[in-house]
């Protein structure tokens, strides 16, 4: 989801980044498609937030009021309006909001297109290179892996939830920085008829969205279990129950797949996106629940800083 409507309530560093990145998305997708020749499933689908009782409805309306001055528009929908937008949704509601600017993108398409676009431009991608340590010395950087050390003019530490496992030093001194940590989340997928959902459907911490081909995703959970990749059947049952409650049609269907991932949590009020003082190491991690949304703004910010850096040397290194 590219959905500040469901996330942002007050103006802060997160909201500014999220809204800027949402604005950048159409051009980001167009540029990536053109550079890679790969079509990206990106749609400004909008999102419908439903309230099932008066208390939920009042809190949705308060949120919408707070969002308006931030530039997040929404409109009130009746039950009949919701049914028009989402014919599968046939529940009684206390009220609903439509967020026209929220969008959907398939992050796997983004990654495929990014990879191709990078390769076309001569970027060498080394998979399986596990970085242990990054050392900055003046205008050069050493990136130490398990059996190889790379020498570069610039390094960007962007290892998501794992970023704190990589040691960073500047001129031999250990650099302290905010800790990253994993916040596991499960998702559940259903194969439905293409076009049967339309906008994202949300209520509280449950949402359902559909990709163009009909693959429909219900989420999610938030678990502090470290880097444990095992699927948790209880969590999956909880998500399918909540999704079936939100959209009863789903309770008649079996999910086809379930998976989990690690949101990069951070011990700081916003993601780390900055240059370390006096050397050529940049940090770009801690995007928590919004790393897909924040991709273009992160790329812009970091690449502009690197390109305008007076210490940047040349294009020849790794």
Ligand X SMILES: Cc1cc2nc3c(=O)[nH]c(=O)nc-3n(C[C@H](O)[C@H](O)[C@H](O)COP(=O)(O)OP(=O)(O)OC[C@H]3O[C@@H](n4cnc5c(N)ncnc54)[C@H](O)[C@@H]3O)c2cc1C
If the CB atoms of residues 67 and 180 are measured against ligand X, the closer one turns out to be 180
> Interface with ligand X by CB under 6 A: which range of 39-47, 167-175, 196-204, 283-291?
283-291
Tokens of 233: 């059947």
> Interface with ligand X by CB under 6 A: which range of 62-70, 162-170, 190-198, 308-316?
162-170
Contact 313, 139 (CB under 8 A): yes
Q: In Å, how far from its chain's centre is CA 241?
A: 24
Question: Which residue, among 242, 250, 251, has the nearest Cα to 206 in the 3D structure?
Answer: 242
Q: Minimal distance in Å, beta carbon 271 to ligand X?
A: 8
Q: Which residue is nearest to ligand X (CB)?
A: 291
State yes or no: residue 261 binds ligand X (CB under 6 A).
Answer: yes
Residue for token pair 């969002």: 67
State yes or no: residue 185 binds ligand X (CB under 6 A).
Answer: yes
Contact 159, 131 (CB under 8 A): yes
Helices (H), the chain: 13-36, 54-67, 79-85, 107-120, 233-246, 295-308
State yes or no: residue 289 binds ligand X (CB under 6 A).
Answer: yes
Q: Minimal distance in Å, beta carbon 3 to ligand X?
A: 7
State yes or no: residue 291 binds ligand X (CB under 6 A).
Answer: yes
Residue 213 CA to residue 88 CA, distance in Å, equals: 17
Given candidates 160, 198, 265, 296, which one binds ligand X under the rule CB under 6 A? 160
Residue for token pair 């995007």: 287
State yes or no: residue 296 binds ligand X (CB under 6 A).
Answer: no
Given candidates 46, 219, 265, 296, which one binds ligand X under the rule CB under 6 A? 219
Q: Minimal distance in Å, beta carbon 295 to ligand X?
A: 8
Site pattern 26..45 for ligand X (x: CB under 6 A): --------------------
State yes or no: residue 258 binds ligand X (CB under 6 A).
Answer: no
Given candidates 159, 225, 270, 299, which one binds ligand X under the rule CB under 6 A? 159
| DSSP letters for 105-172 | E-HHHHHHHHHHHHHHTTPPP-TT----EEEEETTEEEEE-SS-EEEES-EEE--GGGGGGSEEEETT
State yes or no: residue 285 binds ligand X (CB under 6 A).
Answer: yes
State yes or no: residue 130 binds ligand X (CB under 6 A).
Answer: yes
State yes or no: residue 5 binds ligand X (CB under 6 A).
Answer: no
Given candidates 177, 202, 242, 263, which one binds ligand X under the rule CB under 6 A? 263
Q: Could you give the angle at the alpha carbon of 208 between the alpha carbons of 180 and 54, nearest 5°? A: 100
# of chain residues touching ligand X (CB under 6 A) = 27
State yes or no: residue 1 binds ligand X (CB under 6 A).
Answer: yes
If the CB atoms of residues 52 and 162 are measured against ligand X, the closer one turns out to be 162
Tokens of 224: 């502090």
Rg (CA), the chain: 21
If the CB atoms of residues 46 and 160 are measured against ligand X, the closer one turns out to be 160
Residue 257 CA to residue 251 CA, distance in Å, equals: 15
Residue 222 CA to residue 2 CA, distance in Å, equals: 18
Residues near ligand X (CB under 6 A) are: 1, 129-131, 158-162, 165-166, 185, 187, 219-220, 261-264, 285, 287-293
């Amino acid at each position: 989801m590219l959905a500040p409507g469901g996330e942002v309530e007050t103006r802060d560093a997160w909201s500014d980044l999220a809204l800027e990145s949402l604005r950048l998305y159409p051009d980001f997708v167009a540029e990536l498609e053109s550079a890679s020749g790969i079509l990206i499933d990106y749609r400004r689908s909008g999102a419908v937030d439903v309230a099932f009782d008066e208390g939920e409805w009042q809190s949705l309306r308060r949120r919408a009021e707070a969002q308006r001055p931030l530039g997040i528009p929404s409109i009130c929908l009746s039950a009949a309006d919701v049914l028009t937008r989402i014919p599968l949704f046939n529940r009684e509601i206390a009220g609903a909001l439509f967020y026209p600017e929220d969008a959907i993108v398939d992050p796997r398409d983004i990654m495929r297109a990014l990879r191709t676009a990078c390769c076309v431009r001569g970027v060498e991608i080394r998979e399986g290179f596990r970085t242990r340590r990054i050392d900055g010395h003046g205008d050069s950087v050493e990136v130490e892996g398990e059996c190889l050390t790379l020498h570069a003019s610039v390094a960007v530490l962007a290892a998501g939830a794992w970023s704190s496992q990589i040691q960073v030093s500047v001129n031999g001194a250990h650099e302290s920085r905010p800790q990253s940590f994993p916040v596991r989340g499960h998702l559940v997928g259903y194969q439905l008829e293409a076009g049967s959902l339309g906008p994202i459907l949300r209520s509280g911490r449950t949402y359902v969205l559909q990709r163009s081909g009909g693959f429909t995703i219900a989420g999610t959970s938030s678990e502090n279990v470290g880097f444990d990749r095992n699927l948790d059947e209880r969590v999956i049952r909880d998500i399918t129950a909540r999704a079936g409650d939100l959209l009863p049609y789903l309770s008649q269907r079996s999910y086809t797949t379930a998976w989990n991932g690690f949101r990069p949590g951070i011990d700081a009020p916003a993601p780390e996106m900055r240059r370390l003082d006096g050397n050529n190491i940049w940090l770009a991690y801690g995007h928590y629940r919004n790393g897909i949304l924040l991709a273009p703004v992160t790329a812009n910010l970091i690449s502009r800083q690197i390109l305008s850096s007076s210490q940047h040397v040349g294009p020849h290194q790794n």
